[in-house]
Structure 1
Amino acid sequence: MKAIVSNKYGSAEDLELKEVEKPIPQDNQVLVKIHAASLNYGNLVLLKGKPFLARFAFGLLRPKYPIPGGDIAGTIEAVGRDIKKMKAGDEVFGDLSGCGWGGFAEYVSVPEHVLALKPVNSTFEQAAAVPMAGVTAIQGLRNKGKIQSGQKVLINGASGGVGLAAVQIAKSYGAEVTGVCSTRNIDILRSSGADHVIDYTKEDFTQKPQRYDLILGVNGYQPISAYKRALSPNGIYVMIGGSGAQLTQAMVFGPWTSLFGSKKMGNMLQRPNQEDLLYLSDLLKDGQLKPTIDRCYTLSEVPEAFRYFDGGHARGKVVITM
């Protein structure tokens, strides 16, 4: 089969399209013929080996997982003898980041618990755009942010994959959602259901009088003190993306602020699980979650896709089609 392979940390130029051995599913695995995959921030970490601490998980000197790619959608071609729920012919989607990656290939063998059935009303490309971004948004809003109906929620960095998913998921909870983005992304954010849109090139939401019950920091460069100022008295700030300085502040000063005040400040690390995938599947089925796909590339164009994604200006998701 064909696959994108990276045997050293570096840049998009180090990614190669190669013929590799087609995997054979073990007793507890299913063999998936991949139709589409998508890029996420974790793909860049796996490519570059940065930040350095990530190498303790991905391989200290060279990538432990030579075939990148986490989010996939495809069709089950074969199942191991211990598989009870899924069968050949099932259309599925999932996040492989917790079981060895390998999504930028024509086939992959994985445990069935990392997959969920793809809704019939979603294309493979749409389904592949959802898992990691959607689960991150769910866990940030629900698990860490304790979102409630009627709350005022702000998503900073709302035009990327996680941000657009977060806007729609927050709306599904009955929240009043404000999205922060650049001028060129205002229309796409409004079409995704945001009640209010702030253009960060013209306004600084941390300087406005409006206060928010929950702020999800997907991107941006504001110091944690600015986020604190924008929170309501019992508000919660969850940092899931942004600059290195922001991450440091959220990890070091967030717990201290939370301990001695009513406002809660912290960060979150996404953890893939099938329960959240099933929740996303229901949102897709009901039309409450509609993935936005910026660009599609073929498997041979993955290096170009990485260069575009690394530029930081993707509106929604970058998808790979097989």
Structure 2
Amino acid sequence: MSQARAVRSSGGVATMNAIVAPKYGSSAVLRTEVMDRPEPGPGEVLVRVRAAAVCSGDVHLLTGKPYLIRLMGFGVRRPRYRVIGHDLAGDVVAVGPDVHAFRIGDEVYGAVVSGAFAEYVRVPVDTLARKPAELTFEQAAAVPDSGMTALQGLRDVGQLRAGRSVLINGASGGVGTFAIQIAKALGAQVTAVCSTRHAEAVRALGADHVIDYTTADFTAQSGRYDVLLDLVGNRSLADCRRILTPNGVFVSSAGAPGGNWLGPVSWIGKVVLADIFATQTLRPLLMRPRAADLDYLTDLAARGLLQPLIERRYPLADAAAAVAHVADGHAQGKTVILV
């Protein structure tokens, strides 16, 4: 597929290229289709997508696992939203009724429930913000899901602030690379857990200390942390609590494997139940997209405190390969699709 913007006319209707999942499955089911270009509704704008980023949520919605996802309105037998993709950056080309915050030509970035892997997408204005001038479109597209997850986990749930310490388990992934920078911007001491391959990258992002999980057990360290942001879910609650201060906060944005049906739900239940009896605070993290949080991240980028780490870039026609790379589970930073 040509990488030039493709707006065709079929019977007078503008069309576009989009990456479609006609059924649940691996990245192999994805295909490129030409479809009608959407029109923005009330409270929405139409964005010409310049770049999109792959996140773990895209993989879950593509596979339909855990199966509980299908019962939550995403389609029981096949995906309700055929065009996949959450995160995007681009420019506004049309404005829906009652929208006053954005105008045609504005460069923006944000999140949608689905539809970002396409040349155009409708975006609600309450999950959209103006693109930071300091970031390219591909850098901005990398921010929304992972950046807001890291921000809400550290600032809101973990109550991290200056002078406190945080350990980030899974520091080299999409959320982890943002978490390092946000924690440093909040004035915290950061310990990053990752493999040997990613150690230099997380140091370059600002981590004060790095624990290589291939040679050391981070739960066996003598240090104690005010916040533990767990992005992997590979250790027990008892192990994690052992390295927290007496009033520390455990923030879980990943669950121990819970099978194809419930996935992390059983783990979330364990965290909530354990919190009732613990002196420490144990909380699951469920990120909610908010324009105000995007504005916060925009400010960090403007001050040079936030720089997305992008490992790989793919053209829209190779979106399946981009999704497969993220689904493999060992991607460093973010994977971006150029539209």
Normalised by the length of structure 1, the TM-score is 0.96
Question: Residue by residue, what CA displacement relative to the aligned partner does 1:79-137 show, whole Å, maximum 9, x if unpaired?
Answer: 1242111001100000112xxx1000000122222210001111000000000001101
Which whole-Å CA distance do the structure 1 matches of 2:43 and 2:336 have between them? 28
- Which of 74, 86, 90 is matched with 1:74 structurally? 90
How many Å apart are 1:312 and its aligned residue?
A: 0.9
For 2:306, give the aligned amino acid. L
Change in Cα spacing, 1:184 to 1:220, as seen in structure 2 (3 Å) is farther
Report what 1:125 is aligned to.
Answer: 138
Alignment pair present for 1:200 and 2:216: no
Per the alignment, residue 8 of structure 1 pairs with 23
- Partner SS for 2:36: coil
SS in 1 for 2:215: coil
1:129-168 matches, cutoff 5 A: 129-168=142-181
Residue 22 of structure 1 corresponds to 37
1:276 to 293, 298, 309: 293
In the alignment, the residues of structure 2 paired with residue 166 and residue 124 of structure 1 have an alpha-carbon distance, to the nearest angstrom, of 21
- 1:54 correspondence with 2:86: no
How far apart, CA to CA, are the structure 1 residues paired with 2:18 and 2:137? 18
Count residues in correspondence: 319
| Runs of 4+ residues over 3 Å off in structure 1 | 245-250
Aligned to 1:312: 329
Q: How far 1:242 moved relative to its partner?
A: 4.5
Partner of residue 86 from structure 1, selected from 92, 102, 110: 102
- Are residues 1:298 and 2:299 paired? no
Deviation at 1:251, TM superposition (A): 2.3
- Residues 242/190 of structure 1: CA separation in 2 closer, same or farther (3 Å cut): farther
3-state SS in 1 of match to 2:93? strand
**Aligned AA for 2:208?**
D
Decide whether the 8 Å contact of 1:134 with 1:166 is kept in 2: yes
1:244 aligns with 2:257: yes
* Deviation of the 1:45 alpha carbon: 0.7
Aligned pair partner of 2:246 in 214, 233, 241: 233
1:244 is paired with a residue of what secondary structure? coil
Q: Are the aligned partners of 1:129 and 1:293 in contact in 2 as well (CA < 8 Å)?
A: yes
Identity %: 46
Could you say what secondary structure the match of 1:288 adopts? coil
Q: Establish whether residue 96 from structure 1 lines up as the match of residue 104 from structure 2.
A: no
Please state if 1:265 is matched with 2:264: no
Q: CA deviation at 1:243?
A: 3.0
Provide structure 2 residue ranges, at least 5 long, that are not aligned to the other structure: 1-15
Matched residue of 1:187: which SS? helix
Question: For residue 322 of structure 2, what is the amino acid of its counterpart?
Answer: A
Contact 1:247 1:267 in 2 (8 A): no
C-alpha displacement at 1:311, in angstroms?
0.9
User: Contact (CA 8 Å) 1:185, 1:315: kept in 2 or not?
Assistant: yes
Secondary structure of the 1:88 match is coil
CA distance in 1, matches of 2:42, 2:246: 53
